[in-house]
Every structure is written in C-alpha cells, then in structure tokens.
A = this chain, B = another copy of it.
C-alpha cells in the first residue's frame, strides 16, 4: 500500500470504522507492543505534547495519526494519570478540524491558567496550492476534559522565518508569559529558538532568537523545551543537521540538552554552564523529549521513542513508535541525570535476587525490570531477550576495568532497525568502578539507566518474542534483582 500525500491527508471521516477497529486490534495484539508504556492505540504516535499537572492529575497528549505508520494528518490524543505510570486514555483531544490546522494539529505544550489547561500548539495550515502557514494556536481544556480551540492564532510567523516555525512551549517566568518556538531563519537557513513574551497571554511580542550558543545549530531546531532543574535552567531541543564537530551524536537527528547558569528571557539570553550541548539519551531512538516543572517541585520528562525520517519493523503491522517512561530530572555538577519514578515500582511482580551465575532467566514474559550491579574489573556480555544458545539477543558489552565502557549492540537481535545510523552505541564509564544498570524491557522497548541515571540509553529492538533468555556469556561478579512488570496498557 502506497502512502500517497492524498491518502495521508484523507479526512478521518473518510476512513471506515471497521478499518480503524482492525488497526486498533492489530496494534493491541502485536507481540512487539509495549504494555507499561504509552503507545499508539493505532497508527503512529510522535512528539509528547502538553505534559502537565492539572485538576489533580498529570496530563499527557500525544501527536497521533490513527490510520497507519506514517506522518499523516495529525491530531492530539489525551492520557491522564495519578502517578505518571498508570495512564488512562481520554480520547481525541485536538482534531485537525479547523481552518487553522487543516493539515494537522502539530506539537505544543500545556500551561495551567485561571482554572483551565491552556494547550499551545501549531496549527499546520495548507492552502489550495499546498503552501504551508504555521499558526500558533491556543486551545483551552476545562475540568471535564472538554477542549475548545481559539478561533484566531496568537502568533503569526514573522517575516524572518521560513515555513518551519513550530512547537510552542508556553510557560510563566518572572511574572510574565513566554512562548519559545523552533524556527528556521529565512536568510541563513539556520535552526533557531524564537522567544515571545506577553503580559496577558493575549498580546505577544517577539523578543528574538535565543542566544544560547555561538555555534550554528544545524538547519532547524524542533521541540525547544526549557525547564528548571535544581534551580538551573536546562534547555532541551532537537537540532536537525547539527555539525558533529559541535556535539557528537549517532542518530539521524539528536535530542540535545544544555544545562545553563542562568537565563534572561526578556533579553533572550541563556548562559550555558556546559561547553557544548550533550546527547540527552545514549541509545538509538529518542527524540522530541518534553519536560515540565511540576507543582511537587520536580521536573519530569517523557520522550518520543522514534525518529523522524526513519522506519521500524512494526510499520508492517500498521503502527509505529512508543514513549519512554516518565523520568525525573536532576542536575548535579552541571550534568543532567534522569531517574525512573518511584511509582514505577508499583508494577513490580515476582521478585528474584540473582548473583554471579551466568544464566539469569529463561522466561520473562517480555515485560521486566532487571537491576544490576556489576563489580569493578569485570568484562563480558549480557544478553537480553536471547535464544537459549545466546546466538541472538540484545547485547550489553561491558568493561568495568582498564577500558571502562558499555556498548549496546542491537546488530544481532531480529530485524535491523535503521542500520545506516550504526548498530552500536557506546557509553564511556569511570575506570575500575562498579557499573549500575537499571534495565526496563517492555515488548520491543528497552530503557537502560546507567550509574544512577548519569546516562540513559533508550532503544527499540525486535527480538523473536519467544526469545526470553537473560544471561551473561560467563560467570562473573554481579548482584541482580529481577521483576516481571505488570502489563497495564
């Protein structure tokens, strides 16, 4: 089936309901499906949107195309949760049904204001000649989860940007309101973050491009996201076309972060505390991470596990992509740490403690957590979701001695996933130190928290679902805790 433009932009009402039910069933029953992470009900999800706390619950919206594994005409779907682990679905939130968003309700953010949740998003408008205009629009959600869109955009694209002007983050800072947007400058064709300011959420004026780096940030920046973590500003963003001499990365497009010393939004000035941006995730598949400052004082982040312009094996099953678990952010010594939430422990079942023996498990049901401490001066390979002979599996190749490093290798575990961007990722470790790994596997998703969240590596992999062996290639010194995780979604 060819996904022509005409087909991708077919109105939802021109699809039939049996097809949608079949797509929902196909996604739900896939052996590769996640069961304790937010995932597509059908079709494709991409960027997390509107991540917020409102009316006693956490809210999360997702970019969604319900009819296939492609970037067709997008809407927002809605989930809510008490603990950011047990999410329940609340249906379509923003449909692409107005003139402003006639070609898709694109990404954005949430801000609680006057008892409502304001959802700022990009209305992707296309005229009859397929010329695009990105409108920044606000929709308002009430306590009954009913959403009404404003009829007029709050921000029109300024003269100095191309059609690439999107992903508004709306927030309050120093008693003013700000929106930051990903933009491409019309003259230089460079990626920028454009800052807008308002006193009343109605009249907005452009402060200008955010000054946060002397380097050119590729040809476009998507999903700029500012949060405050341990009182320091942290800028999370997705530069496309970034020169690898500025910051190293392996994926097609990186999801970067920059810890700041301070920020002056009224002057569009971010003063970094790091020399250069760093990869937010050391795995293969993280993009468009959205973080927010919650009323409990923490900053929480959730990532799209999927990449633009890439394909995945579940495309053949008509659905694509998933989300990471929610991560609590911490800044220590100007580095960003990411931690699993305490609440995810509520999914743990059937605990087993295992030490030193090469063989850990034969049957995991493919939803599990494995927490490991490998002693210093060890080396070897840990196979996850392997066959019993360890001929195939996801391999964590580690050294905690002289050449300390962790290599994550998905070259030998089922169908290839975008191999043109490499099949290994390497994380450098301190010499002669123990290695702590907190590994979460859910269907075709693996998240590895390394050394208490100093690094996180997130990836998709597509093992034969019957391959459930966990084993080292030889006996060594380690302590492990294993839990099955309860399927809840």
List, in ascending order, chain B residues with CB within 8 A of A80's CB. Answer: 487
Task: Determine which residue in A12, A95, A144 has the highest number of CB atoms from chain B within 10 A of its CB, and name it.
Answer: A12
Q: With A21-B91, A25-B92, A26-B91 in contact, is A346–B346 under 8 Å at CB?
A: yes
Query: Which residues 407-454 of A have a CB within 8 angstroms of B?
Result: none
The verdict on A88 contacting chain B, using a C-beta distance below 8 Å, is yes
List, in ascending order, chain B residues with CB within 8 A of A25's CB. Answer: 90-92
Copies of this subunit: 2
Rounded to whole Å, the gap between the CB of A102 and the closest CB of chain B is 14
Rounded to whole Å, the gap between the CB of A324 and the closest CB of chain B is 19
The verdict on A83 contacting chain B, using a C-beta distance below 8 Å, is yes
List, in ascending order, chain B residues with CB within 8 A of A349's CB. Answer: 82
Question: What CA separation (Å) do A486 and B488 show in the bound complex?
Answer: 13
Contact B92 A21 (CB under 8 A): yes
- A interface residues, tally (CB under 8 Å): 46
Among A28-36, A159-167, A392-400, A469-477, the stretch that binds chain B is A28-36
CB-CB contacts of A6-21 with B at 8 A, as 1s and 0s?
0000011111111111
In the complex, the chain B residue whose C-beta lies closest to that of A346 is: B346
Contact A146 B29 (CB under 8 A): yes
In the complex, the chain B residue whose C-beta lies closest to that of A144 is: B31
The verdict on A89 contacting chain B, using a C-beta distance below 8 Å, is yes
Contact B17 A20 (CB under 8 A): yes
Contact B56 A86 (CB under 8 A): no
Main secondary structure on chain A at its contact with chain B?
Answer: mixed
Contact B13 A19 (CB under 8 A): yes
List, in ascending order, chain B residues with CB within 8 A of A19's CB. Answer: 13, 17
Contact A22 B92 (CB under 8 A): yes
Contact A365 B17 (CB under 8 A): no
CB-CB contacts of A355-391 with B at 8 A, as 1s and 0s?
0000000000100000000000000000000000000
List, in ascending order, chain B residues with CB within 8 A of A11's CB. Answer: 18
Rounded to whole Å, the gap between the CB of A27 and the closest CB of chain B is 8
List, in ascending order, chain B residues with CB within 8 A of A284's CB. Answer: none
Task: Determine which residue in A17, A56, A92, A349 has the highest number of CB atoms from chain B within 10 A of its CB, and name it.
Answer: A17
The verdict on A134 contacting chain B, using a C-beta distance below 8 Å, is no
List, in ascending order, chain B residues with CB within 8 A of A31's CB. Answer: 144
Contact A29 B144 (CB under 8 A): yes
Contacts A22-B92, A88-B487 known; 18 new A-B pairs at CB < 8 A: A13-B17, A17-B66, A17-B67, A20-B21, A21-B66, A24-B92, A25-B90, A28-B89, A29-B91, A29-B145, A29-B146, A56-B365, A82-B349, A82-B486, A86-B86, A86-B488, A88-B488, A488-B488
Closest 4 CB pairs of A and B: A25-B91, A13-B18, A15-B17, A12-B18
CB<8 Å pairs between A and B, sample of 24: A11-B18, A13-B16, A13-B17, A13-B18, A15-B17, A16-B16, A17-B67, A18-B95, A20-B21, A21-B66, A24-B91, A25-B90, A25-B92, A28-B90, A28-B91, A29-B145, A31-B144, A82-B349, A82-B486, A83-B486, A86-B86, A88-B488, A88-B489, A144-B465
